[in-house]
Structure 1
Amino acid sequence: MRSRLARLWRSATLTRVASLTVFAGIAAFILLTFRDYGVSNDEPVQHAYGQLLLNWYASGFSDESAFHYINLYLYGGLFDLIAAGLQPYVPLPLYEWRHLLSASFGFVGLIGVWRLARLLGGEKAGILAVLMLAVTGMYGGAMFTHTKDVPFAAMMVWSLYCIAALGARLPELPSWRLVVGLGVSVGCALGLRVGGVFAVFYLMVTLAVGTALLRDPWLPVRLLPRLIVSGLIALAIMAVTWPWSVLPPSNFFTAMGAFNNFAFDLKTLFNGETLPIDQLPPTYMSEYLLIKLPEITLMGLVAALAMAGVALLRLAREVRRDGTANLLARHPRRLLAVLPVMLAVAVPVVFTLIDHPPLYNGIRHFLFVLPPVTVLAAFGLTAAWRMLAAAGPLPGIAFATLAVGLFGFNADTFARLHPYQYVGYNQLVGGTAGAWGRFEGDYWGASLEEASLTLLHGLAQEAAAAPGKAPLHYKVAVCAEDVQVSTHLGPEFEMVEDWDDADFVISARNVGCDNVPGLTYATISRMGVPMASVFDVRGKNPPIELPVQIPDDDGWGIDFNAPAVSLQEAVGPQVAKAKP
């Protein structure tokens, strides 16, 4: 029996079937749930930016409105160009289309994680890495609404894969397929954010270390023609999707400097204190990373550190026996494949500690660190399990049981937080409930959709209970962007700026939006944490207990899929409220 199980475990066919099954399940999850996610704060202006970039091309490069629009010209427009360009041909409401497109980028990123982890630790490590990242709230849940951050993370992990694959084959020249892949992935990353320069840095360090390890000073010269091709591809993609960056080329460096010294009037919640973003401690990003990672990923990182310690002891013995030069000559490809992944984890963390850039929204701006962190964690789990299983069945079974238990716990938390998984925290701070009031909550206001639909449900109940007596017109104010609520309300609702004129106030329960006067009409919660509330400020209705479950719109006479926001609307009132 044990031999049969061992053969099944080693079966390449079954392993590939497992990989395909995992990806089929994730694809089904995306298709079944992409409509559940609310409009995020930045989406109206981001979509307007994409439309303005299209206008630049349609006008024969004369309409330069996109190059002066808020501060979005500092970002690449790859995602927003695709979203705006294809939107007229996609039979979906605007924001549902954007969420499906963003999740598709996230899915592509998961494939990149699978390829990278498989390169380093085999296909089983790839499957494990994909599963772990998929239940990481800041990736698997954020990939629908973080339309700047998740696509960038996806392109960065593909850049990492290409760099690691190039390093693993040195001193051989990379295939032209790999050359093109490197150029496309780096170009797409730069076409989303100037942070794509991190990938260029990882490549340069990997090549420098490879030249030293292989004792081949002519290696860069032989690689140069193919790297030039990759560079030209990357530059072309960046220029097409982010034209401001090359008009003139010095704009690219202007953008780099702008993000290193970014400052505006915004406060963020960190460890129980509301602080201006330019007064945060340098450990902000690293601490948030530690408390946002799922427990299974933390276990994998601990295992990876332990395996690194074991490997160092073995290396020390080999060095004493064979000498450093002979040892490095035997293992250069393995080292050069792992190096870029280690750089992708260490460099951003060290950068934030040294440079201390203004940050907010937790690890949103450094979400691209999650894929390589997860790959290293999966590599650590599989390596530790192999070592323990080789020592005896009981240690291996105990380790696997603990890992499966933690993964199940994280998957359950992911499901219970749906569709607000990105607000999740691990048990280092007592979970999401323990982090409430101490760290960032629903900063995107994604829960406002459910709050809006809950208000509709409640008013429908009022109208059914008193036919002919319910008012036909309601005024609604929102502590967020109006479009995050108006998208889901019908024509009988008027959005107002002055809360004194409102019948209802809908508010995300995040910094600055958690002290609204009035009777609580309904609260949207997950795991005991309030995400958003509807406040009745009419002064005549008592609080009403409403179910969180949102019914179908059949029979309500309300179009929940009403058009979202026009270009004129997005460039108008949203501009004053927009955050970078």
Structure 2
Amino acid sequence: MSLASSRLRAAQPSALRWHSLPLVRLASLAVFAAVVAFIVLTFRDYGISNDEPVQHTYGQLLLAWYASGFTDDRAFHYINLYLYGGLFDLIAAGLEPYVPLPLYEWRHLLSAGFGFVGLIGTWRLAKLLGGEGSGVVAVLLLAFTGMYGGAMFTHTKDVPFAAAMVWSLYFITALAGEMPAVPRWRTVLGLGVAVGCALGLRVGGVFAVLYFVLTIGAAMVLLRDVRLPLLLLPRLMVAGLIALVLMAVTWPWSVLPPTNLFKAMGAFSHFSFDLKTLFNGQLLPIDQLPSIYMPEYLVIKLPEVTLLGLVAALVLVVLALGKRVRASRVETGLSSHRMLAASMLTYLPLALAILVPIAVAVLTDPPLYNGIRHFLFVLPPVTVLAALGLVGAWRALHQRARLAGAGFALAALGLFLFNASVLWRLHPYEYVAYNQIVGGTPGAWGRFEGDYWSASLREAALMLRHGVEREKPPAHPYKVSVCAEDVQVLTYLGPNFEAVEDWEDADFILTALNVGCDAAPGLPYATVSRMGLAFASARDQRLRHMPVEVPDQDDDGPDLDAPEVSQNGGGSPQGTGPQVAKAKP
């Protein structure tokens, strides 16, 4: 435990501490057991995301590079995937032959496993900064954040990266708490592994390196020791070597040659292609988004209880700074200065992990899309800060008046239960959840990104399959066109369906309504909906392929009294959103 956290606990009256450590530890174990049960029971519910087929191919190509004795370099030219680390995809592809699960179910289970490791890292970080109680609260908040707990199964690049980053942050924080002493080998080795895994997933792992460098620089100033880097250098070289090896093994392109790492950084800072994204009701090119895109999405995607915790944390910080300023007028000794420095160093990495990515997104204005997805790694540190705020505010209020503390706790619990009910109603599409700042998910629909992964196509495909199974078996397989990636529905449709490109040739059209397919023709056959919102649709076009008998007509021309019949169905499904990705017309 850090010096700042130790002093905080020592200063609290025993009545205010989470003094029953066995009960709190039991609560931690119960929460983690519930998360494991949720993963095991629900990982089959989640659909295939748009990127998964190419990501898995990338993992297979990396394996082929190793199996060929480093001669098969197709992985280094595959689309733009070579700009990403392959840690997750290597594991997924390497273990696939030995796992008795369908491919995408295995990938979703593995991704959720990474997410679970991230929850453990979040618990460790919050516990380090605020005690065991804060750790429990942080895990609950993050697990019930739709963009983390609901994204664990399908965001197979973003969630593993977030998990590696929160562990990097934990070890940086632990090292900061140990300074100016030489860090323990456990901390050094953990830091190297965590940063190496982050870089083995995304070049964004350089954020962790930046947090660490800034923390060391601040320690030199606060501890008034310019020799500190030289003292730490021998062990930090070991951590750096471990990180470099892990990055090279899981992302070999980055070191062949080593300058490729900088090429990747430059590519993502100017990354752009022909894509539009929905923001505040406007369909905008991704290179023309306002600078507030990322912070606004962060604010409207966080659960209400997390926002309450952030407000409480801000108030506590302001009060603590005021108290510190008043105390500094009478405390001028060396011990007072060292205590203040230790406290600042302990919390500095957490502040950097929140503020630096937001500042980069605002100041550099990179091309973005899919809401908060590319900055999902900010959610664990934000949630830790919110947990510290909730627990700290409860303790402060409880100390002054038990009734005030109880009222605050009940308000937080009410918001938490409300958020949990929303995720329950959205399952398995929890990641589309929005808070009440924009009117919840219904208020955000059509104004902000919805099911951008088209994960609801799984459910639409199963509804179509079960529907036609109740009909007379077809003489030939039904032709189906998909307004997304074919594999997202063919995986679930069975042998009675085959894919075609052209909508005109299809018996059925399956559309994920978030990706601009709201103009698909045909009669409504099945619609996937949650909270009154249409996520995906199956459209029936069989009528247009049936021969139409035209009655004999007089020489005078057609029967003008005959009613006009449309074979294109009922038009656009209700609740569809504007185009944010390519459609297959």
Q: Does the TM-score normalized on the shorter chain lie above 0.5?
A: yes
Q: Distance in 2 between matches of 1:514 and 1:163?
A: 48
Tell me the residue number matched to 1:29: 38
Q: Deviations over 1:308-342 (max 9, x none)?
A: 11111101111222249764322222211211111
Give 3-state SS (helix, strand or coil) of 2:277's partner.
Answer: strand
In the alignment, does 2:234 pair up with 1:240?
Answer: no
Tell me the residue number matched to 2:528: 524
Of 185, 195, 218 in structure 2, the residue corresponding to residue 176 of structure 1 is: 185
Tell me the residue number matched to 2:223: 214
Task: Tell me if the contact between 2:18 and 2:133 (Cα under 8 Å) persists in the aligned partners.
Answer: no
Q: Report deviation, 1:174.
A: 1.1
Q: Distance in 2 between matches of 1:307 and 1:227?
A: 34
In the alignment, does 2:434 pair up with 1:430?
Answer: no
Tell me the residue number matched to 1:484: 488
Q: Distance in 2 between matches of 1:15 and 1:66?
A: 48
Paired residue type of 1:73:
Y
Q: Distance in 1 between matches of 2:193 and 2:335?
A: 37
The 3 A distance-change label for structure 1 pair 543 and 35 is farther
Tell me the residue number matched to 1:505: 509
Q: Distance in 2 between matches of 1:505 and 1:577?
A: 15
Q: Deviations over 1:147-183 (max 9, x none)?
A: 0000000000000000000001111111111111000
The 3 A distance-change label for structure 1 pair 149 and 537 is same
Tell me the residue number matched to 1:548: none
Q: Distance in 2 between matches of 1:539 and 1:355?
A: 53
The 3 A distance-change label for structure 1 pair 312 and 99 is same
Q: Distance in 1 between matches of 2:82 and 2:163?
A: 21
Tell me the residue number matched to 2:322: 313
Give 3-state SS (helix, strand or coil) of 2:260's partner.
Answer: helix
Tell me the residue number matched to 1:292: 301
Paired residue type of 1:46:
Q
The 3 A distance-change label for structure 1 pair 49 and 494 is same
Give 3-state SS (helix, strand or coil) of 1:487's partner.
Answer: helix
Task: Tell me if the contact between 1:269 and 1:511 (Cα under 8 Å) persists in the aligned partners.
Answer: no
Of 103, 115, 132 in structure 1, the residue corresponding to residue 141 of structure 2 is: 132
Q: Distance in 2 between matches of 1:577 and 1:67?
A: 26
Of 261, 264, 267 in structure 2, the residue corresponding to residue 258 of structure 1 is: 267
Task: Tell me if the contact between 1:76 and 1:191 (Cα under 8 Å) persists in the aligned partners.
Answer: yes
In the alignment, does 2:353 pair up with 1:349?
Answer: no
Q: Distance in 2 between matches of 1:52 and 1:510?
A: 31
In the alignment, does 2:67 pair up with 1:58?
Answer: yes
Q: Which runs of 5+ in 2 are unaligned?
A: 1-13, 545-566, 571-580
Tell me the residue number matched to 2:370: 361
Of 204, 214, 225 in structure 1, the residue corresponding to residue 234 of structure 2 is: 225
Paired residue type of 1:331:
L
Give 3-state SS (helix, strand or coil) of 1:281's partner.
Answer: coil
Of 267, 270, 275 in structure 1, the residue corresponding to residue 279 of structure 2 is: 270
In the alignment, does 2:204 pair up with 1:198?
Answer: no
Tell me the residue number matched to 2:479: 475
Q: Report deviation, 1:511.
A: 3.4
**Aligned Cα RMSD in Å?**
1.8
Give 3-state SS (helix, strand or coil) of 2:420's partner.
Answer: helix
Give 3-state SS (helix, strand or coil) of 2:515's partner.
Answer: coil
Q: Distance in 2 between matches of 1:81 and 1:534?
A: 35
Task: Tell me if the contact between 2:175 and 2:187 (Cα under 8 Å) persists in the aligned partners.
Answer: yes
Q: Report deviation, 1:39.
A: 0.4
Give me the identity figure in percent. Answer: 67
Tell me the residue number matched to 1:551: none
Of 49, 64, 75 in structure 2, the residue corresponding to residue 40 of structure 1 is: 49
Tell me the residue number matched to 1:156: 165
**Number of residues of Structure 1 aligned to a counterpart in Structure 2:** 538
Tell me the residue number matched to 2:196: 187
Q: Deviations over 1:169-215 (max 9, x none)?
A: 11111111111100000000000000000000000111111111111
Q: Distance in 2 between matches of 1:394 and 1:187?
A: 48
Task: Tell me if the contact between 1:164 and 1:337 (Cα under 8 Å) persists in the aligned partners.
Answer: yes
Q: Deviations over 1:278-304 (max 9, x none)?
A: 011011011000000000100000000
Could you state the TM-score of these two structures normalised by the residue count of structure 1?
0.90
Could you state the TM-score of these two structures normalised by the residue count of structure 2?
0.90
Paired residue type of 1:487:
T
Give 3-state SS (helix, strand or coil) of 2:342's partner.
Answer: helix
Of 488, 493, 497 in structure 1, the residue corresponding to residue 497 of structure 2 is: 493
Relative contact order higher in (CA < 8 Å, ≥ 6 apart):
1
The 3 A distance-change label for structure 1 pair 7 and 352 is closer
Q: Distance in 1 between matches of 2:16 and 2:328?
A: 36
Paired residue type of 1:333:
A
Task: Tell me if the contact between 1:521 and 1:543 (Cα under 8 Å) persists in the aligned partners.
Answer: no
Q: Report deviation, 1:13.
A: 1.0
Q: Deviations over 1:10-51 (max 9, x none)?
A: 211111111111101100100000000000000000000000
Q: Deviations over 1:518-557 (max 9, x none)?
A: 211111011111111111122279989xxxxxxxxxxxxx
Tell me the residue number matched to 1:280: 289
Task: Tell me if the contact between 2:16 and 2:395 (Cα under 8 Å) persists in the aligned partners.
Answer: no
The 3 A distance-change label for structure 1 pair 577 and 62 is farther
